[in-house]
Structure formats: structure tokens, C-alpha cells
Structure 1
Amino acid sequence: MNPLVALYVKELKGIRLVGAVLTVATAAIVLVVLNDAADGGIHLSMALLILPYMCPPVLAGLLMHAISQEWAGNTQHQWLALPVPRSTLLLTKMAAVCTLAVAIYMLNTFALYMIYEQVLDTVQSGSMSPTPAGPMKIEAGELWVFTGALFGSLTLLLLGLGLAAASLKMMLNRFRGLLTVAVFLGGLWLTERLAPSVTGAIQSMESMPLDRSVLTAAFDGYLYLAVMGIAFSVAGLYVFDRYADA
């Protein structure tokens, strides 16, 4: 087996417990929503589909935990001695967490896609009170792009911050918790400071009507978040490559 593939599989096994819990919880939400939607009505349970989209902070915590576990389990010597670049060690952990993120996104967005036409028909038929801004005009298929851009950019941003925080923690013996908080707060502040309008782009998901113009306007903000996530990841990889010590 290719060493990189073997390392990736190892990291998947390392997060299998948390991954199983998150995946099963998402699948349960999907089943509940689809079961309730079978009668063609609108139900409060449909709001549960918001929850899986809020898991990026959990995924960032999972990434940091996966890295710190090498030291907690006293396996850092063997891990750092593997015949691959040190940056690759972190990237395989990040890839494993991203795989979990994709699984959650696919499950949840499938349910959203399945009920979208039903909700849209109900709104347009007048069985629900229309929103002040008018009916939704986004195509059901575009939900995949829209939700994927939002979920993916936020996930990448927080994973980048998590990777940077985990790398910096390796340089300290004390105050690691404070450092983690400082990295996240500082990173989010810097992200907002460099692009104040990005907050409005994220909030555009709640705007009505949801049409292609909203998608286009929001995409720039999501792309910016993804770029910032990559920048934080690169910074974390550099620090880890230079200063990580067994």
C-alpha cells in the first residue's frame, strides 16, 4: 500500500469513534426529517437540518485533538520519524477530518434537496405566509453549490485555525488553552478585519429571495473565507515543520 494512503487510513481509524457518532447523528436527523415530510406538509423537525451545518467548530476541535493525541499517547516519536515530510503528517489528519465533513454534508444536503421542492411548492401555493421579500427562486440543484460553498468555506477556515493553534501549542509547555483561544479569536478578528463585508456575504444565505444574484454575491465571501483558511493552514504547517519536537 502507498505510504500516504496507509497514513490516511490510519488517521481515519483514529477519528472513527467521533466520526461514527457525528455520521449516525446526521443520518438520524435525515431519517426524522424525511419521515415527517412524507405527508407533504411542513414540520418543525425540518429545522433540525441546520444542526449538521453547524459542526465545523467540532471538526476543528477534532483535528486539534487528533494532533495532540500523538503526544498524549506518547507516539510522537514514531509519528515524526515516519519517512514523509512533516507537513504531510498534518495534512493527512486534516484530510481525514475533511472526509468526515464531506460525509456529513452529503447526508444532510441530500435531505435538504429532497424536501426543498415540497417546501417551495407549499410556499408558492399560499399554504404558508410568503416572506416579505418574495418567493424563493433558487433551483433545487443549486442548493448543492450554495450550501457546499458555505459549509466548505467555514470548515476550511476553522480547520486552518485549528491546525495553526495545534502547531503553536507544540512550542509551549504552559498556557496552551489560552493560546488556542487567542489563535481562534485573533484569526477570526483578522479575517473580519481584512474583509468587513464578508459578514454580510455569509448572512446573505438568510436573505429572500434566494436567487442566482444572491449566490454570486455570496460566493465571493465564501471564497475569501476558504483562502483565509488555506493561509492559516500554511502558517500552521510552516510552524510545525520548523519547530515540532518529539
Structure 2
Amino acid sequence: MTTQRTYVVTGAASGIGKASKELLEAAGNTVIGVDLRDTDINVDLTTADGRATMVAQATELSGGRVDAVLAIAGLSAPIPATAGVNYFGAIATLEGLRPLLAKSDAPRAATVASMASLHPHDDALLEAFIAGDEPKAIARAQELADLGPEVGYMIYSTSKQALARWVRRTAPTAEWAGAGIPLNAIAPGVILTPMTAELVATEEGRKQLNEQVPMPLNGPAAAIVPAELLVWLTSEQNSHLCGQVIFVDGGYDAVTRGESTW
């Protein structure tokens, strides 16, 4: 029998975060939601103050111990804030709450990359992410945004590649695997949210989307699909997945990369 657990879920007010929060609560768990508004902790994770407030309030609300962290909050807009929240905000969440995880008997952590991590990226921005240089990353993101939305999209794809790479580097370390904390990521394909509703509403839109992002298995997914995977990854049942980036994308990764991962 699974015991009740305490979770922190960022991005909890909408999309995958909301679906995850609802699933966890339906199973009897305690969930501390984090988002810009409409949840337990309302902060801006693009800012140092917002990140510090999130850690302080999560510590207070949890009594100093959490069993799992789901760092889901993110943006896809071609703006510098996307770099701030998708990479630095996610890492600040995971690292900032790690001391609370260390007090759990079965700590777990997961975050959300994207199939967009396979899309074209910007080398200079990626280097800034990997170096942990947030001012440089934000400045480079602004340069990309100034070149228009098509170039600006690389802020999103680069941030998701950088986050996936951070998970791969970090998960096997003494601070995570060595402390008994499985750290993993999921990489969703196209998820049916209000943002994509207009695009999938017409046959022409669906055809265009399928050409850009082929998902041969059942096409775009509802938010509940990646949420179910995140819930399992952060459950007591997951004892050995370490540093995995799991593509829940209807086959996009397999179509795009084939056997090249070997």
C-alpha cells in the first residue's frame, strides 16, 4: 500500500502541472502548488526573489520535508523569460528543495524537457546555460528574440536541451543518486492545451502540425498523459531510473533520431 506523500509541483495552475497536481491529490497526497497565481505559492521563478520565496514558503508549508519535487513550470514564448524559467528556474527549484527531499524516506525528483530539445538550438545560449551564467544567457536570449519569433523559438528549444543535459550530468552525482534521490525528466511531444487548441481545430492545421512534428502513435496528447508519467517517476515504485529523459511524444523521437542514440 502506497503511503501518503508530500509533493511540490511548479507550474501547478495550468497544463501538465495542473494535471499532475490533480492526479496526486486524487490519490490522497498533499500537493504544494507553485505558479505565478492561483495556487499555494504565487511567485515568479524567473527572479532570484521568487525562487528564494518559493523555497522558504515550501519549507514552511511542508514542515521542512517533502517526498517529491516536480519542476514543471515553463514558457514556450520567444522571449528572454523563457530562458529564465525553463532552465534556471527549474534548477533553482530542484536544487533549492533538495535539502527537504533529503529528509524523506523515498525522495524523488522530476522535471520537464521537451521533444523540442531535438530541434535547432543556439550554441552561444547553450554555452551560457551550461556555464550557469544567467545574465549572459538572458542577454543572448534577448538578442535572439530581437531577430523575430522564428529565431526566438531557439530560446525554447535550447533551454530544453540544456535542461535535459543538466539532468543527465547531475542525476548520477553524490548529491542526487548518492543520496538516494532518483532525478529524471520527461520530454513531451505536442500536448493539447489552450495554446495548441486553435492549431488542431482544423484539418489543415492538424496536417501542418503532423508534418512539423510527426507523432505516429495517437498524435498530440492530453496533459494527463505526461502527468501520469511524472506521477510514476516521483512515486515510491520508481527506485532505479536515474538521469533518464523519457520521450512521451507519440514516436517523434523514434522518427527523428531512429537508431542514432547508439
Is TM (by shorter chain) over 0.5?
no
Structure exhibiting the larger radius of gyration computed from Cα positions: 1
**Per residue, is there more helix in 1 or in 2?**
1
Instruction: Report which structure shows greater RCO (CA 8 Å, sep ≥6).
Output: 1
TM-score, normalized by length of structure 2? 0.34
**Per residue, is there more strand in 1 or in 2?**
2
TM-score, normalized by length of structure 1? 0.35
